[in-house]
Amino acid sequence: MPGSPLSRSGGILLHPTSLPGTGIGDTGPSAHRFAGVVAEMGLRWWQMLPIGPTGYGDSPYQSPSTFAGNPLLISLDDLAQDGLLDPSEIEADFPTAEVDFGAVIPWKRELLDRAAQRFSARPAPASFDQFLDTHMDTWLDDFSVFTALKRAHALRPWWEWEGDIRRRRPAALRRATAELTESILTVKIEQYVFDRGFRLLRSRCQDLGISLIGDIPIFVAHDSADVWANPSLFHLDGQGNPTVVAGVPPDYFSATGQRWGNPLYDWDRHVETGFAWWTDRMRRMFDLFDLVRIDHFRGFSASWHIPADEPTAENGEWVAAPGKELFAHLKSVFGNLPVIAEDLGLITPEVEELRDEFGLPGMKVLQFGFGTESAHAIDQFREHVVAYTGTHDNDTARGWFDSDEPTRIAERDIAMTALGSDGSDFASDLIDGVFESVAAIAIAPLQDVLSLDSNARMNTPGVEAGNWRWRFTWDQVTPEVVEGMARTVCRTHRV
């Protein structure tokens, strides 16, 4: 890794699905090319969203596994290079400016199944057996069986499966695994291929002096291998349904709060097990990434418990969590923790104390910095933070500036004054503000580097449809864009 995690440096935020490619971005040739662009810009960090399989609404924050990789990120070009697919099989006509998940998923699913069948017909490489040995006991076996069972149950959620399978009765599981042997093997092959491709990309980044920042949501999806395999770790009733669900109360993202719907942890049980599940989870992330952002760090101090029958997040209560005990344990296992604490929203002194006790950098988002007495104003930045122009949940910088929302007019005037901007290229001015700041790491989404409008927004919190689809095209990344970013990096001493 190039230097200390908190040495003065710059980075870019781009999820691999947003890369050019057939139907959807992946970790193959286009990702390797993008890594070269990041290096040309003089940036030292590439931050991604969670790379696990996507679930409801195609959200990377609602995954059927916190350990597995997303098969949609497997490069079909790499599979063709390996002789597992014919080049003619991967030709297709999809939109280039967005991901059409409804069309891409079944098309790519069929090709991945075909490649797995051909892989299984060959002698298995030693690296495949090593992959199985490394991950089988912690997550791979549960995830493979879970995924095969979901396909056998027409993708119905696990709590709708027959009782003995839902409750993981040993005899029922033995029968199911015997009947689904081929499907289970397919999942294992996919995870091996994903892991191999991701590690090749990471190696390429390391050669270029680029470190990777990963992202995990603090909570996991209800319909996940994690919850199905470990029901005692969550607040569930006898049928496997959550009694309380996660979210946040009303804030600047949503007037009714955000009801995420994830089951909440039974922290007493996690303490009893010595935080074994969390230890395995973080070990997996530290094995794949150089630095890990944990979304909703607030939840390690206290979680917003929403009764499961409430339709919004307005009615709930804060319930304390054993964050200090957890992070003390993780530190005893891993040493200094390469973690970014996502400390946005309603933050209490207890949250700040937990973050600071373990030396974790928090976040600043300059797009939030132009209201009255904002904690995200530039003069509130400190060195021990990771600063952003915006996150995946924000509008693009240009979209924010062009918005006609009533509150935006006053904020826009404050922003122009604070940044010395005439408004002609606000995205560039916002990037300058973040990169000139005292923050140790400064990061901009690629959308802001390209000065794109709201059509390039990645996610709108509280809106279920149309998110996570944006993609760029190579003709947008002009030499002028690359050279301009490189000059900013050099001028702000983030090389």
Residue 400 CB contacts under 8 Å (≥ 6 apart), including other chains: 367, 390, 394, 408, 426
Residue 179 CB contacts under 8 Å (≥ 6 apart), including other chains: 152
Structural tokens at position 341: 């604490």
Distance of alpha carbon 65 from alpha carbon 233, whole angstroms:
15
Distance of alpha carbon 111 from alpha carbon 85, whole angstroms:
8
Which among 215, 295, 411, 432 is annotated as catalytic?
295
- Residue 223 CA to its chain's centroid (Å): 18
Distance of alpha carbon 390 from alpha carbon 49, whole angstroms:
14
Which among 190, 195, 393, 429 is annotated as catalytic?
393
- Identify whether 393 is a catalytic site residue: yes
Distance of alpha carbon 74 from alpha carbon 257, whole angstroms:
35
Structural tokens at position 197: 């491709």
Distance of alpha carbon 185 from alpha carbon 129, whole angstroms:
12
Amino acid code (one letter) for 431: I
Distance of alpha carbon 281 from alpha carbon 142, whole angstroms:
14
CA distances from 54 to 70, 101, 138, 396, 470 (A): 7, 11, 20, 23, 15
Q: Are 10 and 494 in contact (CB under 8 A)?
A: yes
- Identify whether 411 is a catalytic site residue: no
Amino acid code (one letter) for 486: A
Residues 18, 22, 27, 32, CA torsion sign:
negative
Q: Are 410 and 442 in contact (CB under 8 A)?
A: no
Distance of alpha carbon 385 from alpha carbon 281, whole angstroms:
24
| Sheet of strand 244-248: strand arrangement | 258-263, 244-248, 302-307, 317-320
CA distances from 248 to 303, 316, 347, 455, 492 (A): 8, 9, 11, 26, 36
- Identify whether 280 is a catalytic site residue: no
Structural tokens at position 94: 């999809």
Which among 290, 342, 411, 429 is annotated as catalytic?
342
Task: Provide the annotated active-site residues.
Answer: 295, 342, 393
